[in-house]
Structure 1
Amino acid sequence: MKLIIGISGATGAIFGVRLLEILRDVEDVETHLVMSNWAKATIIEETNYSVAEVQSLADYQYSPKDLGAAISSGSFHIDGMIVAPCSMKSLASISIGLADNLITRAADVMLKESKKIVLMTRETPLNQIHLENMLKLSQMGVTIFPPMPAFYNHPKGLADMIDHIIYRLIAQFGIDQLPQEKVWTGFSNKAQHI
């Protein structure tokens, strides 16, 4: 499976980093990374990773300015795309087909080729423009995937929450990595007696 991983400048750069780390260890998944310039700044600001370390997690990486890259054409076979995190600017650009950088151009190609796109949208609260852009893309078949934490699995900290979200994210592509003990199996006996 070949996946494009876009990382935009929205807060939550760790989601894109952790996604790459997890996919690196999944057999038969090839990653094609595009980070916006603001993503690079956010990685430095929010994480302990360098930009070079993040780039090294991907099989291939491209400049956001390289609109001639292989992934900018539908003739280059790609199975799908994830943008994690996805800023409202990237969301808006994708929704109107702006294709002004490699992240939005690659998403435009995925749309025209009817390939799966998952956008990990990051903003709160959401205004009407954000919601309309999400609805428009959802109606085109794009999966809108805000990083919502789960608490039924009793996370021990932020790393557990991030991993659970990423496992749920890659499950959108049929990649099942969620540890069995973290899968929801119904209410416990204690809760059922209420």
Structure 2
Amino acid sequence: MTAAQADLQAEFLEMPEGLRLDRPEVADGAALWRIAKDSRTLDLNSSYSYLLWCRDFAGTSVVARDTAGEPVGFVTGYVRPEQPHTLLVWQVAVDAAYRGRGLAAALLDGLTAQVAQNHALTSVETTITPGNTASERLFTSYAERHRTTVEREVLFDTEHFPDGPHAPEVLYRIGPLAFHPSRSPG
């Protein structure tokens, strides 16, 4: 485990037993695509996009690895170019065998702690389709753990989607967030 991985692991001590947080690598792209596909709730992107995500946005994304080092969950995100204090969470997915253990919350907390080490992070955004109660609970409980508020508004309505019927995407804006500067090693 590298020093960066140890720092990331230490930021959130509630990881389910036997799992660890890590930075995604290009070789993880296929597993992330499979986990997203198997979720049956996420909009599945092309396999190519997961490869690019693991290459270009690895610093603002995180994977959970099992004892064999295989990805079993992930959160992808990016810092918004026009709002550099905001992390946009793109997708959160956990392999079916690992659901119900608090892994998605651990991943989200670990990712925001990681991103806050390099960015003055004050808010998290995501979009959720109405009726996705698992995601609604995940982000609402995140706001509660971080003692902050959630604002909701429709970001993309049904008519914005050119490829057929799609539920609206509701923007969840969580903040303000306050992260303490990380301790220096040693």
Q: Which has the higher helix share?
A: 1
TM surpasses 0.5: no
Larger RCO: Structure 1 or Structure 2 (Cα < 8 Å, ≥ 6 residues apart)?
A: 1
Report the structure number with the largest CA radius of gyration. Answer: 1
TM-score tier by shorter-chain length is 0.3 to 0.5
TM-score, normalised to structure 2, is 0.35
TM-score, normalised to structure 1, is 0.34
Q: Which has the higher strand share?
A: 2
